[in-house]
Amino acid sequence: MADYDLIVIGSGPGGYVCAIRAAQLGMKVAVVEQMKTYGGTCLNIGCIPSKALLHASEMFEEAGHGLAKLGVKVGTPELDLPGMMTHKDEVIDANVSGVAFLFKKNKIDGHKGVGRILSPGQVEVKPDEGEATVLNTKTIVIATGSDSMPLPGVEIDEKKVVTSTGALELEAVPGHLLIVGAGVIGLELGSVWGRLGAKVTVVEFLDRIVPGIDGDIAKQFQRILKKQGMDFKLSSKVTGVTEADGGLSVSVEPAAGGDAETIAADIVLVSIGRRPYTEGLGLAEAGVEMDERGRVKTDAHYKTSVDGVYAIGDVIAGPMLAHKAEDEGVAVAEILAGQAGHVNYGVIPNVVYTMPEVASVGQTEEELKAAGIAYNVGKFPFTANGRARAMNMTEGMVKMLADKKTDRLLGAHIVGFGAGEMIHEAAVLMEFGGSAEDLARTCHAHPTMSEAVKEAALAVDKRALHM
Ligand code: FAD
Ligand code: NAI
């Protein structure tokens, strides 16, 4: 007799959402988690704490530099860093206890400890202290997420040389923060510490920032970040970090090779990507196959090479995003219940939570060119939007890409205040196979930032009204 219909290993957004959906569908479910609290990377050391610090530091920046322009004098704001960290910790607590509550509500058993697959129907749980137990189950879902990618030759101590985890709990604002990698983590956390007073230098291997984001948008984004004081060293790589005079000495070389230079820094943040986390899971012994990048290999229904073992989230292929993991969690639970669970990988929004935000969904112009797809482009700047002017938030633009023949929307890209909210009207439209004209003919409330989305859709047909 199995103890459970389903055991989920890992309680991040993939795992906990999968458990809840499976319980809703009538399965008896357990979750195994090795951290002290549920919620995974996202709730404990990722999405949620970073957004708490992004918001708080944004308010600090607004009070110091934004409000005076609106005729609001508040004097020079004073940073209470411990207070800001308390805010972040309270936000984490509220979210992780929310997951514990949802487990209770849905009668999901939580088992704290390291999970290891002994066989397709057996999971061992090894707690920090005490004996390991073995649970029997009909099905296993691996949702063990990801971990920071190390930089060869650079040792992480999470005090001075940190990953995102250490960068979320620095005890003082660094004089100079050097960031390796101009990806999402580097630019979000660089924004946090830059607003709080650090000088920020970003060293990026490629000749551009945020690879994967539409080129036009990335260029404008970089200009905005530069204006905010962020320095970029593109086409460069960090080859070593050593302790020097109480600080750090960082060797930086051109990516293509050449003379190294040395840069002094107080803190180095290594944010060069994340890798799937499968340590201690016993996958090789259980016969679960991996792909060339160390990700658990699955078929279109999330089944691994072993019957009865499935995998979702950061540990499998695809973008490492919380909402992608969540949607896969729902899909696999529905598939296990005999339903038609499905994720549309063509419509997964992506948001960088800087100020302003960058958001995109669908294909970039570079991807369309590479695929030989003929398209029309519509662009609209926020400088021409009344609400943006009223709020002093005129930086950025909306860019729409639609199929040349059918007008079907293929991609939407926004850099601007509130981009992360606005992107969803394009996402919903694309989910229903809508056209740029459909969006352009949809009445948008005035005055809103979203009118720029409508105008960009009109611009696809060269008939923007306010430009
Ligand atoms: P995870 O959230 O990584 O959860 C996996 C869990 O499994 C962990 O709790 C881990 O302890 C546990 N585990 C692993 N192995 C075992 C084992 N053997 N036994 C028991 N438990 C185990 N994404 C966004 O979409 N938006 C954002 O704003 C965003 N911000 C981020 C900010 C930062 C700083 C970081 C680092 C990431 C951010 N991400 C963001 C990415 C997001 O956190 C991940 O995509 C998401 O957490 C993946 O979910 P998951 O369920 O696959 O794995
Ligand atoms: P990333 O993949 O976004 O960016 C890494 C950057 O580092 C790239 O620009 C890459 O070219 C560069 N790089 C790689 N090796 C390098 C080297 N040796 N020297 C210099 N640069 C180098 O990875 P990041 O920022 O670590 O984030 C990991 C993942 O976490 C993201 O890809 C995303 O999936 C997720 N995440 C999502 C967030 C969001 O949705 N807002 C926020 C934070 C993380």
Whether 278 and 311 have beta carbons less than 8 Å apart is answered as no
Confidence label for 367 from pLDDT (cuts 50, 70 and 90):
very high
Q: Ligand 2: which of 203, 205, 268 to mutate, most ligand atoms within 8 Å of CB?
A: 205
Give the mean pLDDT of 402-406: 98
pTM of the model: 0.98
CATH class of the structural domain 161-272: alpha beta
Give pLDDT tens digits for 418-442.
Answer: 999 999 999 999 999 999 999 999 9
Ligand 1: residues whose CB is within 6 Å?
A: 9-15, 32-35, 40-42, 46-47, 50, 114-115, 143-146, 164, 185, 277, 280-281, 313-314, 320-323, 325, 353
Which residue in this structure is represented by tokens 């340590």? 279
Cα(45) to ligand 1 centroid in Å equals 8
Whether 268 and 180 have beta carbons less than 8 Å apart is answered as yes
Give which of 419, 441, 438 is closest to 429, Cα–Cα. Answer: 438
Q: How far apart are CA 197 and CA 236, in angstroms?
A: 25
Strands (E) in 60-188, as ranges, are: 109-112, 114-119, 122-126, 133-142, 146-148, 161-162, 176-180
Confidence label for 186 from pLDDT (cuts 50, 70 and 90):
very high
Ligand 2: residues whose CB is within 6 Å?
A: 151, 180-186, 188, 203-206, 211, 237-238, 271-274, 319-321, 351-353
**pLDDT score at 245:** 84
Residues in a beta bridge with 148: 274
Exposure b/e, 322-352, CB count within 10 A at least 16 = b = bbbbbbbbbbbbbbbbeeebebeeeebbbbb
Q: Which one of the ligands is nearest to 32 CA?
A: 1
**pLDDT score at 412:** 98
Q: How far apart are CA 102 and CA 58, in angstroms?
A: 31
Q: Which one of the ligands is nearest to 269 CA?
A: 2
Cα(146) to ligand 1 centroid in Å equals 6
Cα(328) to ligand 2 centroid in Å equals 22
**pLDDT score at 2:** 82
Q: Which amino acid is located at 251 in the chain? A: S
**Tokens standing for 241?**
């970090």
Asked if pLDDT for residue 76 goes beyond 90, the answer is yes
Q: How far apart are CA 408 and CA 411, in angstroms?
A: 9
The residues of the chain that CATH labels 3.50.50.60 are: 4-148+275-336, 161-272
Q: How far apart are CA 141 and CA 23, in angstroms?
A: 14
Cα(124) to ligand 1 centroid in Å equals 21
Question: Catalytic annotation on 446?
Answer: yes
Q: Ligand 2: which of 274, 323, 324, 361 to mutate, most ligand atoms within 8 Å of CB?
A: 274
Q: How far apart are CA 423 and CA 63, in angstroms?
A: 27
Give pLDDT tens digits for 287-297.
Answer: 999 999 999 99
**Tokens standing for 397?**
């633009």
Give pLDDT tens digits for 244-291.
Answer: 888 999 999 999 999 999 999 999 999 999 999 999 999 999 999 999
Q: Does the domain spanning 4-148+275-336 belong to CATH 3.10.129.10? A: no
Give pLDDT tens digits for 302-318.
Answer: 999 999 999 999 999 99
Exactly one of 301, 342, 446, 466 is catalytic; name it: 446
CATH for 350-460 is: 3.30.390.30
Residues in a beta bridge with 232: 202
Dihedral angle sign, alpha carbons of residues 288, 293, 295, 300: negative
**DSSP-based three-state secondary structure for 210:** coil
Share of the chain above pLDDT 90, in %: 99
Q: How far apart are CA 263 and CA 201, in angstroms?
A: 10
